[in-house]
Amino acid sequence: MTAAAAVRVAAGTWSVSDSRTTVGFSVGGLGGTVHGSVPCSWGELVVDAAGEPVRVRAEVDLTGLDTGIAKRDADLRRPRFLDVDRQPILSWSADRFTPAAGGGWVAEGTLSVRGTTAPLPLTGRVEEMHPDSGWLRVRASAEIDRTAVGIRAPAVLVGRRVAIEVDAWLVPGAGS
């Protein structure tokens, strides 16, 4: 794969288009790898005059968790795992960015879920920007040890490492 040139982003606040943005995850365990998704209910990216990210914030609605198997989804919503009844929103934010290969960046962020916080750096890059139609697309990925946020289960049943893939579509927004 060849590296594409970095896309220059217009300065301002960009808001997540929740209808197109996806947050996917995968985790191994007994019986193979489980894939799922969770809707991003809100998010924003602030970009400075040089086209560099300054701040990013996002919220994920855990009530919309979907792995394709209703019983597994119900189990993941229980207190032992995500405790969705008490804490239905997962949030992530970052204020520090460092350049990465291929014109991307590493966002040194913090994940908050289940009333617990843990560092979660995401590596990402702007994939496309269409100023005429007013949107941009950012893809990012991360990996977290689920025990860092208090999710306990035998590792043979649920792997410790959870891979996260974000496909964010943003539009110019007023910010908050």
The domains of the chain are located at 12-172
The CA distance from 155 to 114, in Å, is 19
The predicted-structure confidence for 103-158, as pLDDT tens digits, reads as follows: 899 999 999 999 999 999 999 999 888 767 788 999 999 999 999 998 888 777 88
Whether residue 4 is predicted with pLDDT greater than 60 in this model: the reply is no
pLDDT range class, residue 6, cuts 50, 70, 90: low
Q: Fold for 12-172, please state it.
A: Lipocalin (2.40.128)
At 72, is the secondary structure helix, strand, or coil? helix
What pTM does this model have?
0.89
In whole angstroms, what is the distance from residue 151 CA to residue 124 CA?
26
Mean pLDDT of 90-115: 95
User: Half-sphere exposure of residue 128, counting CA atoms within 13 Å on the CB side?
Assistant: 11
